[in-house]
Amino acid sequence: MISVIIPAYNEEMCIRPAYDAIYSLLSANNIDSEFIFVNDGSKDATFKIITELSTEKENVTGLNFSRNFGKESAISAGLAAASGDCAVVIDCDLQHPPEKIVEMYRLWEQGYEIVEGIKSRREDKKILHGIGAKFFYFVISRVAGFDMENSSDFKLLDRKVVDVINKMPERGFFRALSYWVGYNKTYVEYDVAERFGGESKWSTWSLLKYAVSNISSYTTAPMQIVTALGVIMLIISAVLGIWTIVDKITGRSLEGIPTVIIITIFIGSIIMISLGIIGYYIARIYEEIKGRPKYIISSTVKSIKK
């Protein structure tokens, strides 16, 4: 059996179409399935529709968060609730093509333990979003040590992989976790489709926060920037020191106040940037050591086998 995990935030227009499209494909290919919808604190009728669906169908589970905890937490909750021999994570808006699930499942039957969905083409109407996404994946691929270019949350995981990820206590970046754990992996390419309904819930600011949070989760490279800036300042200080000594010996004086002001501002900026980077990592440590749960499930609905 395959567990289909579908995070949802204000997706009342997409719940039924997503279920119908995916279930019809799996049934046509004789693949037994369960559906786990995770309502991430939606403000619309998303969970009401999930509840109705669970009463009409025999294979639907709905998890309702007490508030919005974010997509990563929704995926974690779905994986924790999954009981299938494998699990696939797919977006509710059908931008991930459902027909690829069957292809992923067949590859899993061949022995692959992780099947990654890789974007082959994406029509991003917001140019800055597209450029930002390319830069983000370039950076995280370099610092994390594995190529994540064009990766996505759309992927199929074997039961043993799901169990390993469920045991990891950290608030990790799901796309990177599936690369980090290793296992026998293959890829399926897909074109990102238009949303079935509604609008994207990701603003430029939320995407920026998401990128910074995930980069800091998987690398301490930004901390090395502090060291690099310190080395740069040491070199500059050494050069200025030699310059001052030479000027003293030759009887010349260093050009006055403007130079001192520029150097002071430069040093101050370096210090503030360094403190900001260090402070952000301390904040991340603080969040982890508090040990709060990744999410809170306020209610659950589940189909009754008829």
- 116-147 residue pLDDT tens: 888 776 555 555 555 555 555 555 555 555 55
Residues of the chain with pLDDT under 50: none
| pLDDT confidence of residue 126 | 55
What one-character-per-residue DSSP string does 278-299 give?
A: HHHHHHHHHHHHT---S--EEE
Tell me what pLDDT residue 73 has. 85
d(CA 63, CA 297): 6
- The predicted pLDDT at position 294 comes to 80
Q: Give the per-residue pLDDT at 35.
A: 93
- The 3-state DSSP class for residue 38 equals strand
Say what the pLDDT of residue 268 is.
74
The DSSP-derived string for 68-111 is: ---HHHHHHHHHHH--SSEEEE--TTS-S-THHHHHHHHHHHTT
Using DSSP, state whether 9 is helix, strand or coil.
Answer: coil
Predicted local distance difference test score (pLDDT) of residue 147: 56
pTM: 0.67
CA angle 21, 103, 173 (to 5 degrees): 85
CA distance 90 to 208: 22
